[in-house]
Amino acid sequence: MTRPTMQDVARVAGVSRALVSLVMNGSPKVSERRRQAVLAAAEKLGYSPHAMARSLASRTSTVLGVMVSDLHNAFFAEVVDGLEEVAAAEGFELIINTGGRSPSREKRAVTSLLAFRPAGVALLGPVVPPTTLAAAAEQAPVVLVARSSRLSTLDTVNDDGEAGSGLAVDHLVSLGHSLIAHLDGGVGSQAPQRRRGYVSAMQRHGLKPWVIPSEYTDIAGAKAVRQLLQGDELPTALVAANDFNAVGAISALEEAGLRVPQDISIVGYDNTSLAGLRHVSLTTIDQPRHEIGRLAGEALLQRVRGERTEPVKRLLHPSLVVRSTTQARSPE
């Protein structure tokens, strides 16, 4: 399965290799006759340019490497959409790699991405240590998504998790709630920001924070609620760690005979496709995923083109999506 090369095309078209190269790159200074001959020969042979040889010879790359820490997470898929949009508009293409949520595999993924000598690299939700990030940034322009870093050699684009939790609390307070608990995401990424945002919003409203340990899964959400139900007091509203956590919490509440939102209101986080299902219809916090991808792509390309060396740290504003799991606190 040895594929035709420029040499073959040149021979068939009766021209030199260089001319074939010019045609393939759409140079204007090629006679129409030759151009047609070359194109015909290429077509006949099923020739298509060898990307690696091209980039090797030209010392440039039109490839942007993307490391996705978890392909199962639809969040990243939308970020990739945004990235791809700006990449395509600027003539770049994406190659994606995955880290499988393990630091060692992820490090390998980044190395192998770098081995292609891409013009730049976007790391989506990386879990590798800062030193690995710093090392990568020495090899190519790097932008981080869903991971913050104070390194001045790379850019970051993140959702403002503190602001997001704040929105959730504000919404619930405006509905008359004051006993508002937070299901904490534990070690999940962005969980600390979300907790901080919750705590400070509660304090801002003069309310007492109530943090319940949990995780980013529906199982954990259900478990946390069941424990909560053992206690003396029940909150009237819950700010869940994320959408999955919220859904788990809801099912545990319903099992216990409580109704959402009549007895208790719940706000999720992430606005995953799950939240939008009519069966779920979860009030939640939306991250501008597509926008995050676009901004990450733009930041990366600025560095790639050498237009900027100063780091850019973007924090995007999330927004509240009101659906059916929150309502005004019923009078006692």
Partner DNA sequence: TTGTAAGCGTTATCAC
Partner DNA sequence: GTGATAACGCTTACAA
Q: Which residues bind DNA (CB under 7 A)?
A: 2, 5-7, 15-19, 21-22, 24-25, 29-31, 33-35, 47, 49-50, 53-54, 56-60
Extended strands (E) in 115-232: 120-124, 142-145, 155-159, 180-184, 211-213
Residue 222 binding a copy of itself, by CB under 8 A: yes
Residue 128 binding a copy of itself, by CB under 8 A: no
Return the residue of 275, 280, 285, 295 that touches a copy of itself, per CB under 8 A: 280
Select from 14-22, 44-52, 159-167, 227-235 the region that touches a copy of itself (CB under 8 A): 44-52
Q: Please state the closest distance from residue 291 (CB atom) to DNA, in A.
A: 34
Amino acid at position 134, single letter: A
For 236, residues 6+ apart whose C-beta sits below 8 A from its C-beta are: 177, 178, 179, 180, 264, 265, 329
Residue 319 interacting entry, from DNA, a copy of itself, none, C-beta within 5 to 8 Å by type: none
Select from 156-164, 179-187, 189-197, 243-251 the region that touches a copy of itself (CB under 8 A): 243-251
Residue 220 binding a copy of itself, by CB under 8 A: no
Residue 31 interacting entry, from DNA, a copy of itself, none, C-beta within 5 to 8 Å by type: DNA
Residue 39 binding a copy of itself, by CB under 8 A: no
Residue showing tokens 């590798």: 128
Give the count of residues interacting with a copy of itself (CB under 8 A).
Answer: 54
Closest to DNA by CB, 42 or 96: 42
Residue 169 interacting entry, from a copy of itself, DNA, none, C-beta within 5 to 8 Å by type: none
Residue 72 interacting entry, from a copy of itself, DNA, none, C-beta within 5 to 8 Å by type: a copy of itself
C-alpha distances in Å from residue 37, one per residue of 4, 17, 34, 41, 225: 16, 13, 5, 6, 73
Report how far residue 132's alpha carbon sits from residue 136's, in angstroms, rounded to the nearest whole number.
Answer: 6
Residue 178 binding a copy of itself, by CB under 8 A: no
For 211, residues 6+ apart whose C-beta sits below 8 A from its C-beta are: 181, 182, 184, 195, 198, 199
Structure tokens at 109: 């993924």
Helices (H), 90-128: 103-114
Q: Please state the closest distance from residue 11 (CB atom) to DNA, in A.
A: 11
Closest to DNA by CB, 20 or 181: 20
Nearest to 179 by CA among 332, 24, 316: 332
x/- mask, a copy of itself, residues 130-149, rule CB under 8 A, reads -----x--xxxx--------
For 119, residues 6+ apart whose C-beta sits below 8 A from its C-beta are: 60, 61, 62, 63, 64, 92, 140, 141, 304
Per the CB < 8 A criterion, the answer to whether 293 and 78 are in contact is yes
